[in-house]
Structure 1
Amino acid sequence: MKKNLIYLTIAVGIGLIAGYFIFNGSAEDSINSKNSAEMSDGHDHSAETANQMWTCSMHPQIMQPEPGDCPICGMDLIPAESGADGLSANEIKMTKNAMALANIQTSTIGNYESKNGNVTSLSGKIVENEEANSVQASYFDGRIERLNVNYEGQEVKQGQLLATIYAPKLVAAQQELITASSLKETQAELYKAVRNKLKLWKLSENQINSIEESGQVRENFPIYATVSGTVSEKMAEEGDYVKQGQPILKLNNLNTVWAEFDAYENQISQFEKGQKIKMITNAYPNKEFDATISFIDPILNTQTRIVTVRATIRNKDNLLKPGMFVTGKVKGVDTSTDQQLLVPASAVMWTGERSLVYVKTKTDEPVFEMREVTIGNRNGETYSITSGLKNGDEIVTNGTFTVDAAAQLQDKKSMMNQKSETSSTKKENQNRMLENERMDVSAKFRDQLKKVFNAYISLKDALVNDDTQNAQLAAKQLEKNLNEVNMKSLKNEKAHQQWMSIQKQLKTSISTISTSSNIKIQRNNFKSLSENMIKSVQLFGVNQKTYSQFCPMADDNNGAYWLSLDEEIRNPYYGQAMLTCGEVRDTID
C-alpha cells in the first residue's frame, strides 16, 4: 500500500513539472509571436488613437481629443477627418473622387486682348413709361350710369366716349343757363358767367349751345377720353357714385416704354445719359431693339449694391410688353489697357459686397484657397479682373459652390465665413476696431440709450423663456424708450446720421414684435433688432460690459447674434429647446 502511494506521488510530481514547461513555453511563444507581428506591422495603433480628434457636425470649429458632447449645442461629437499635412490655415484639400463626383473643373487664366470694345451686359425688364401715363377723372359729382370700357388692356382713342354720368349739379347749372339765356341782352355778365361755369365742368361749346337752343335739361352727361392709350386699371364701375376729380380709368400710352436695368456699383462709371443700348428679349430672340439711356438713378441701393439704369424705347408695333425680361449690351468707356485678365462668370461668387474665387494653390494636388477679387465689367459670360489674381493662376471654373461648401464644413475661410486669423487675434482686432469707431456723445444721450438697451435685454430674456406675452410688453417698452431718445443731444453730424439710420431700422423690428403673438415671428425680427442694437452699443456705448453672442444654427443655419449681460449662453432664438447653443463672439466694454 505504501509502495503504491509513493509511485502515485512521483507520477503527479513529474506531470506538474512537464505541464509547467509545456504551457509556459506556449505562452511565451504566443507573446513573442504577437510582438513580432506588431513590430512587422510598423504602425503605432496607440498613436492613432491618441491623434484622433473629435468634432461637432453642426459646429466644426469644436475640436477635442476625446469623444463627448458639443459644448455649444450638446450633440454627440463625431470623429474628425485627419488634416492634410502641409496645408495653410485657409487651404482645403479635396479627394480626386470627390472632385470627379462634383464635376469640379479648373482653368489657368491669362491676359486676353479686348476685342469686344468694352461691351457691358445688363439684365432688366420692360416697365410702363410713367411719363406717358394719364388718368381719366370725373369732372363733376354724380353716378356712373354707363361705363363703356369693359376690361383692362382695352385700347382707347382720344375723343372716345368713356362713360355717361348722372350729375344733379349739372341739372341745376343747365336750368341756370336756360334762364340766363333769356336775359342775355340785359344781364350779359350773368349769362357769360353761367356759360363759363359749364366750361369748367368740361362741357364743350357745342354741348352748351345745344342745351341753350333746345331749352331742355339733360340728366346724363358724357365723359370723353382726352388722350389715347391702353387701359391699365379700372378704378370705378357702373353704378358707383364718384366725386369731382375722382379717377375712373388709368391709361398707359405704350408707344414708348422703359427698360430698367440693374447695374452694379463698379459698373456705374461705364454709363451716361444718351448712350445707346442694343437690347434683346426672349419673346423675339432674333430681333434687336435700339434704346437710349434716359435716366441713371442717383441713389445706390445699399443692400444689393446696384443702381437702376433706365432706357427709353420706341414701341410703335407694341411688341414690347411691360414685365418682359430683357438683356442689354452697352458699349461703355474703355478704361482698361489693351490687355485684360478675364475669368468665366461661373468662377466668381458674389456675396453682395465681395467677389470671390477659389485658386488652386498646388499644381500637383487638389488643394484650393478662397481669394477675394475686384471685378470690372461683365463681357458676355466673362468678367474682367482688376485685382486679386495674376496671369497664370489656376482657378475653379465649375463647381465653385461645392468647393466653398466643403470649406465651410471644415471651418475654413469661405463665402459665409471671413475669419482668417486666430480667434484671439480676431478678438484683438475687433476690439481695436471698436475703439476706433466709438463716437463721442453726450452723457445724456448715452443714458437714454441705456434705457433702450435695458428694454432690449428684457425682450431677450422673454424669448429665452419662450414667453410671447412678456416679449410683446418688453417690445412696447423698448419702443417707448426709443421714442424718448433726443437726437438733438448729438452734436456730431456723423453720429446724428448713424443714429437716424439705426433708429429707423430698430422701429421696424420693434413694431412687428410688439404686434405679434407668434414667437417664430418675434424671433425672426429679433435678429435684425439685435444687429442694430449691437451696432448702436459699439458706436455709442452704454456704460456696461456687454457680451455679443452667436448661434450658428439660428435663422435656418445662417446664424444670428444677440447681446447679453451674462457670459453664460442663454439662447433667445431657441429658448428652452436648445438653451445653451451658442458662443461668445465678442466683449464690448
Structure 2
Amino acid sequence: MNKNLIYIGIAVLVGLLAGWLIFGTSVDKSMAVKDVSTMSDDHDHSAETAEGMWTCSMHPQIMQPEPGDCPICGMDLIPAESSADGLAADQFKMTKNAMALANIQTSRVGNAEGKNGNTISLTGKIVENEEANSVQASYFDGRIERLNVSYEGQEVRKGQLLATIYAPNLVAAQQELITTASLKESQPALYKSVRNKLKLWKLSEGQINSIEESGKVLENFPIYATVSGTVSEKMVEEGDYVKQGQPILKLSNLNSVWAEFDAYENQISQFKKGQEIKMTTNAYPNKEFDAIISFIDPVLNTQTRVVTVRATIQNNNNLLKPGMFVAGNIEGVSASKKQQLVVPASAVMWTGERSVVYVKTNPDEPVFEMREVTIGNRNGETYTIIDGLENGDEIVTNGTFTVDAAAQLRGKKSMMNQDNVEDETTIPEMKMELSQEAQKTIEKSLKPYLNMKDAFVEGNIADVSASAKTTLEQLKLIPERDLGKMEQSHISKIKRMLIAINEADNIKNQRDHFVVLNQNMVPLVMNIKNIDPQILIQKCPMANNNKGAFWLSTNKEIRNPYYGEQMMTCGSTIDSL
C-alpha cells in the first residue's frame, strides 16, 4: 500500500516537471514576445504622435507638426484627434461609404476649351415687351353699363366694342350738336366748336354725323378699341363709375416679346447692342428662336452681381409666353488667346457675391477643402476659371452641395459660413491673474517695447535688437511663482520672440517675430490695471501676409512698424487701454 503511494507521488512529480519543461518555456517566450510587441507598439505610437499634428483646445485652427504652446493663448498644444489625420483648419474628411451614397464624383482640372467653343451661354425668361403695351382709357365721365371684355388674356382687335358707358356730359354735348346744327349757317363758329368737343371725346366723324342726321341723343355710348392686343389687366367691372382718362383695360401686344438674361459681372464687356442670340426653351426643345440684344442695363445689381441683358424676339405665332424660362447662346465672342482652366458648371457654387468649389486635397483619401474661385464665361455646361485653381487640381463635380453640407456640419469653412473661421489676428480677450509686482514689471517693460516699436518704424536693425534685449531683461525680473500656467506660457513665448528678434540679422525676420510677440504681449498688457500713460492697440490689415497684425503704441498717429516707410500710415486704432 505504501509502495503504491510512493509510485503515485513520483508520477505526479514527474508530470509537473514535464509540464513545466514543455509549457513554461513557451509561456516565457510568449510573454517575452508580448513584451517586445508591447514595446514595439509603444514605440510606434510614440513615433506616430511625434509625426502627427498638434493643436490648441481653445484655438483649433492652430495646427503644428510638433508639441509646444499655442501662439495665441500660450496654452500647451494637445495631439490632434486621430480622426483628423493632421488636416488643416479648413479641411475635413468624409467616409467612402458617405461618398458612395451621395454619388460624389471628382475630376481633375485641365487646360481645355468648352464644348461649344467660342460661345457664351445665358439663362433668362420671357417678359412682356413694355414698348408694345397700351392702356385703353375712358375719354369721358360715366357709368359702365356693359363690359364686353370678361377675362384677362382675351384677345382684342382694333375697332372691337369694349364697353358701353352712360355719360351725362356726352348726352348734353349731343343735345348741343343737334341744336347748333340748325344754326350752322348763321353761327358756323359755334357749330364747329361743338363738333370739335365731340371729337376730343374720341367720337369719329361718322358717329357725329349720325347723331346730327338722326336728331336723337344716345344715352349709352360705345367705346371701341383703338389698338389690338391681349388683355393683361381688367381694371373695372360693370356698374363702376369712371372718370375721364381713367384706365379701363391694359393691353399687351405679344407679337414681340423680351427675353431678359442675367449676365455675370465679368461678362459685361462681351455684349453690345445688335448682337444676335440663339434662344431655346423647354416648351419647344427642337425649335430655335432668333433674338437681338436691344438693351444692356447700365446699373449692376449689387446683391446678385449680375446685369440684365434684354433681347427682342418677334413672336408672330405667339409661341413664347411671358414667364417662360429660356436659354440663350451668343456665338462669335472673342476668346482669350491663352488656354484657360475649364470646369463643369456643376462643380461651381455661386452665392451672388462669390463662387466656390471643393478641392480634393489628398489623392488617396476623401479629404476636401473649400476654395473661392474667379469664374469667366460660361460655355455650355462649363465655366472658365480665371483664378483660384491650378492645372491638375482635383475638384468635386457631382454632389457639391452634399460636400458643402458636410463642411457646415463640421464647422468648417463652407459656402454659407465662410466667416465662421476664427481670425488668429483678432485680439484674444483672456482673464489673467497677475500680482501687483508682476503688473508693475510688465508696465516697466513697455518703455523699451515702445522704443523697439519705434525702431521698427525707422527700420533700424541695431536699435530693434538693443530694445528687444532691454525688454527681455526687464521681463526676466518677474518671479515665476507669481504667474499661473497661462501667464507663464505668454511670458515664455514673449521671451523667446525677444531673443529671436535680438539675434536676427535682417529686419524682415525681426518683424515676423514681432507679429508673434504682439499676439502674446497685447493680451498680457490688457490685464494690467490702471495703466499709465494710455496705451493704444493699433492694427495693420495688410501685415502678416494680409492676415493682419497689431501692436501697442502711445501715439494716436499711425506709424506702422511692419512696413515702415513703405506704408507708414497703413492701419488704425482699434482699442485703448
Give yes or no for TM over 0.5.
yes
Contact 1:89 1:420 survives alignment (8 Å): no
Structure-2 change in CA distance of 1:422 and 1:174 (3 Å): closer
Match of 1:391 in 2: 391
Counterpart residue number, 1:184: 184
In structure 1, how many angstroms separate the alpha carbons of the residues matched to 2:100 and 2:242?
A: 70
**1:92 and 2:125 matched:** no
The 3-state SS of whatever aligns with 1:100 is helix
| In structure 2, C-alpha distance between the alignment counterparts of 1:276 and 1:350, rounded to whole Å | 27
In structure 1, what is the equivalent of residue 205 of structure 2? 205
In structure 2, do the counterparts of structure 1 residues 209 and 419 end up closer, same or farther at CA, with 3 Å as the change threshold?
A: closer
Q: Structure 1 residue 330 and structure 2 residue 330: aligned?
A: yes
**Residue number in structure 2 paired with 1:285:** 285
In 1, Cα distance between the equivalents of 2:305 and 2:161? 48
Pairs within 5 Å for 1:366-381:
366-381=366-381
1:186 and 1:415 map into 2 onto residues whose CA distance is 87
Which amino acid is 1:121 matched to? S
- Is 1:130 aligned to residue 130 of structure 2? yes
Report what 2:216 is aligned to: 216
Q: Counterpart of 1:367 in structure 2: which amino acid?
A: V
CA 1:295–1:37 in structure 2 vs 1: closer, same or farther (change >3 Å)?
same
Following the alignment from structure 1 to structure 2, what is the Cα–Cα distance between the partners of residues 136 and 339? 57
1:123–1:197 distance in 2 versus 1, CA, 3 Å:
same
Aligned to 2:404: 404
Measure, in 2, the Cα distance between the counterparts of 1:427 and 1:311: 53
Partner of 2:312: 312
Structure 1 residues 38 and 182 mapped into 2: Cα distance closer, same or farther (>3 Å)? farther
Q: How does 1:120-159 map to 2 (within 5 A)?
A: 120-159=120-159
Task: Answer yes or no: is the 8 Å Cα contact 1:274–1:294 preserved in 2.
Answer: yes
Q: Find the counterpart in structure 2 of residue 505 from structure 1.
A: none
Amino acid at match of 2:195: R
Q: Which amino acid aligns with 1:162?
A: L
Counterparts in 2 of 1:476-555, with a 5 A limit? none
Q: Secondary structure at the match of 1:416?
A: coil
Which amino acid is the alignment partner of residue 301 of structure 2?
N
Q: How far did 1:215 drift?
A: 1.7
Amino acid at match of 2:131: E
Specify whether residues 331 and 387 from structure 1 end up closer, same or farther in structure 2 by C-alpha distance, changes over 3 A only: same
RMSD of the alignment, in Å? 3.6
Gapped runs of 5+ residues in structure 1?
1-32, 64-79, 429-544, 546-585
- The answer to whether the 8 Å contact 2:117/2:379 transfers is no
Equivalent position of 2:235 in the other structure: 235
The aligned counterpart of 2:461 is none
CA–CA distance in structure 2, aligned partners of residues 427 and 267 of structure 1:
41
SS in 1 for 2:198: helix
Asked if 2 retains the 8 angstrom alpha-carbon contact of 1:113 and 1:338, the reply is no
Aligned residues: percent identity?
77
Q: How far does the alpha carbon of each residue in 1:341-385 deviate from its partner, in whole angstroms, 9 at most, with x for none?
A: 111111112222111112222333333222221111111111111
Q: Distance in 2 between matches of 1:423 and 1:341?
A: 31
CA distance in structure 2 between the aligned counterparts of 1:420 and 1:202, rounded to whole angstroms: 68
CA distance in structure 2 between the aligned counterparts of 1:55 and 1:375, rounded to whole angstroms: 37
Deviations for 1:130-160, whole angstroms, at most 9, x for unmatched residues? 1111111111111111111122211111111
The Cα shift of 1:411 comes to 3.2
CA distance in 1, matches of 2:422, 2:144: 75
Matched residue SS, 1:239: coil
Rounded Cα–Cα distance in structure 1 between residues aligned with 2:224 and 2:363:
77
Q: Matches of 1:338 and 1:37 in 2, distance apart?
A: 64
Given residue 266 of structure 1, which amino acid in structure 2 is its aligned partner?
N
Which residue of the partner structure matches residue 516 of structure 2? Answer: none
User: Structure 1 residues 339, 62: closer, same or farther in 2, change over 3 A?
Assistant: closer
Letter in 2 for 1:150: S
SS at match of 1:250: strand
The 3-state SS of whatever aligns with 2:222 is strand
Aligned AA for 1:189? Answer: A
Deviations 1:109-148 (A, max 9, x none): 2111456342111111111111111111111111111111
1:298 shift after superposition: 1.1
Counterpart amino acid of residue 388 in structure 2 = G
1:548 aligned residue:
none
Q: Which amino acid aligns with 1:175?
A: Q
Q: 1:115 to 1:407 in 2, by over 3 A?
A: closer
SS of equivalent to 1:425: coil
Kept in 2: contact 1:157–1:225 (CA 8 A): yes
2:494 corresponding residue in structure 1: none
- The reply to whether residue 303 of structure 1 matches residue 303 of structure 2 is yes
Match of 1:181, as an amino acid?
A
Aligned ranges for residues 407-422 of structure 1 at < 5 Å? Answer: 407-418=407-418
Are the counterparts in 2 of residues 55 and 62 from structure 1 also a CA contact under 8 Å?
no
Cα distance per residue 1:160-190 (max 9 Å; x no partner): 1111111111111111112111222221111
Tell me how far apart the structure 2 counterparts of residues 153 and 299 of structure 1 sit (CA, whole Å): 33
Q: CA deviation at 1:217?
A: 1.4
Cα pair distance change 1:189/1:328, threshold 3 Å: same
**1:260 counterpart SS class:** strand
**Matched pairs, number:** 385
For 1:149 and 1:415, how far apart are their aligned partners in 2? 51
Q: Does 1:160 align with 2:160?
A: yes
Relative distance call for 1:410 and 1:38 in structure 2 (3 A) is farther
User: d(CA) in 2 for partners of 1:283 and 1:84?
Assistant: 50
CA distance in 1, matches of 2:416, 2:32: 51
**1:358 matched residue in structure 2:** 358
Partner of 1:169: 169
Which has more radius of gyration? 2
* Contact 2:278 2:329 survives alignment (8 Å): yes
Q: Tell me the residue number matched to 1:275.
A: 275
Secondary structure of the structure 2 residue equivalent to 1:123? strand
2:258 aligns with: 258
Q: Give 3-state SS (helix, strand or coil) of 2:425's partner.
A: helix
- How far apart in 1 are the matches of 2:420 and 2:35? 42
Match of 1:194, as an amino acid?
V
Counterpart secondary structure, 2:212: helix
How far off is 1:407 after superposition? 2.8
Cα deviation per residue 1:486-540 (whole Å; 9 max; x = unaligned)? xxxxxxxxxxxxxxxxxxxxxxxxxxxxxxxxxxxxxxxxxxxxxxxxxxxxxxx
Q: Is the 8 A contact 2:119 2:330 kept in 1?
A: yes
- Mark the runs of 5 or more structure 2 residues left unpaired by the alignment: 1-29, 64-79, 429-535, 537-572
Confirm or deny: 8 A CA contact 1:114 1:340 kept in the other structure.
Answer: no
Letter in 2 for 1:239: G
Contact kept in structure 1, 2:114 and 2:342, CA below 8 Å: no
Q: 1:403 to 1:117 in 2, by over 3 A?
A: closer
Secondary structure of the 2:424 match is helix
Of residues 96-105 and 163-172 in structure 1, the stretch that sits farther from structure 2 once superposed is 96-105
Contact 2:274 2:294 (C-alpha < 8 Å) held by counterparts: yes
- Relative distance call for 1:245 and 1:419 in structure 2 (3 A) is closer
- How far does residue 34 in structure 1 lie from its aligned partner after superposition? 11
212-221 or 225-234: bigger deviation? 212-221
- Say if 1:128 and 1:421 are closer, same or farther in 2 by CA, change over 3 A: closer
1:216 and 1:411 mapped to 2: Cα distance? 86
Distance (Å, rounded) in 1 between the aligned partners of 2:85 and 2:249: 74
TM-score, normalised by the number of residues in structure 1: 0.59
